[in-house]
Amino acid sequence: MNSYWLKAGLVAWVVLGVLAPHRSHAEESVLKPLTTGDASRGWEGVGRINLGNTGFCTGALIAPDLVLTAAHCLFDKVTGERVPVDSMEFLAGWRNGRAAAYRGVRRAIEHPDYRFGESDRIDRVASDLALLQLDQPIRNAGIAPFATDVRPMVGDVIEVVSYAQDRADAASLQEQCHVMGQRSGVLVLTCQVGFGSSGAPVFTLKDGVARIVSVISAKAEVDGSEVALATDLTRPLARLRDEMAASGGARHLAQRSAPSVLTGTGGAGSVAKFVKP
């Protein structure tokens, strides 16, 4: 699968700075399979991105013809070559062998600072974003694009909708996980992720509306506990939209989010170790 689990042997221990105290497993919700129409209602804008013969990632609509995902999903993890655009397919709301909408990909652009071939470093997570322009917009009242929002604060409750190797036929929702910390454009989350979760949208829920605030990039360990590393959208997404527009890409760019400054605090001295596949 084209998921991006950075190897501990290449990165060793990376100090992430301010981390909130660990929460017990009882405080985090379990994964809820979105296998029925009722369970998946409202999440149809999240879909599976098939990547030719290299596997799949997760992505989410942020405009009728734009899908947000992780930049490393665009590369073959064995050869390092770009996955051909004509072999990519976005399956919106993929569930039990059927999608709410099927679309090919016309154009795929990764963040200009992202370098797949560099040594596995946390810097790559901070720019691990990509936009896919679909070959046709999805104009369906039941498949609404998601708005984006400013990054969450340390300690905030978040949600993740993702596919994974052991749940490739339907997305799963984790309704309650938390932001442990952040540094240099990387968020550390307590959310459960697996192979195929790369590119999965991270949501905050405000006034009953889910907004994307981050994208899953990698899996790591902090003090022996598994965590997810995610990309802060605040600045990278705005630049990525500019790149797409400058290249003559998507006609319907989602509204930009205003920047914010994260000031959360927590226990110091914890470190993150990237997990070997």
Summarize pLDDT for 161-173 with one digit per residue, the tens. Answer: 999 988 999 999 9
C-alpha closest to that of 145 among 212, 250, 47, 45: 45
Where does the pLDDT of residue 78 fall: very low under 50, low under 70, confident under 90, or very high at 90 and above? confident
Is 52 buried (19+), middle (13-18) or exposed (0-12) by CB count in 10 A? middle
Where does the pLDDT of residue 220 fall: very low under 50, low under 70, confident under 90, or very high at 90 and above? confident
pLDDT tops 90 at residue 26: no
35 contacts: CB under 8 Å, gap ≥ 6: 95, 96, 170
Helical segments of 45-191, H only: 122-126
Note the pLDDT of residue 264: 28
pTM: 0.84
Note the pLDDT of residue 225: 84
Where does the pLDDT of residue 184 fall: very low under 50, low under 70, confident under 90, or very high at 90 and above? confident
- Cα(68)–Cα(74) distance, integer angstroms: 12
Where does the pLDDT of residue 90 fall: very low under 50, low under 70, confident under 90, or very high at 90 and above? very high
Q: How confident is the prediction for the chain on average, in pLDDT?
A: 82
Note the pLDDT of residue 195: 85
> In the block, which residue shows the tokens 């605040």?
234
Cβ neighbours, 10 Å, residue 81: 11
Domains detected in the chain: 8-258+270-274 (2.40.10.10)
Where does the pLDDT of residue 259 fall: very low under 50, low under 70, confident under 90, or very high at 90 and above? very low
Note the pLDDT of residue 27: 72
Structure-model confidence comparison of residues 218 and 250, the more confident one: 218
94 contacts: CB under 8 Å, gap ≥ 6: 47, 48, 163, 169, 170, 171
pLDDT tops 70 at residue 69: yes
> In the block, which residue shows the tokens 């990237």?
274
- Cα(201)–Cα(211) distance, integer angstroms: 9
C-alpha closest to that of 98 among 133, 48, 147, 148: 48
- Cα(41)–Cα(209) distance, integer angstroms: 13
> In the block, which residue shows the tokens 């990509």?
130
pLDDT tops 70 at residue 266: no
- Cα(155)–Cα(180) distance, integer angstroms: 6
pLDDT tops 70 at residue 205: yes
Note the pLDDT of residue 257: 36
Structure letter (DSSP) for residue 243: H
Where does the pLDDT of residue 248 fall: very low under 50, low under 70, confident under 90, or very high at 90 and above? confident
Q: Summarize the confidence of residues 38-45 as an average pLDDT.
A: 96
What beta strand segments (E) does 23-120 contain? 31-33, 46-51, 56-63, 66-69, 88-92, 101-110
> What separation, in Å, do the N-terminal and C-terminal C-alpha atoms of the chain show?
10
pLDDT tops 80 at residue 191: yes
152 residue type, one letter: P
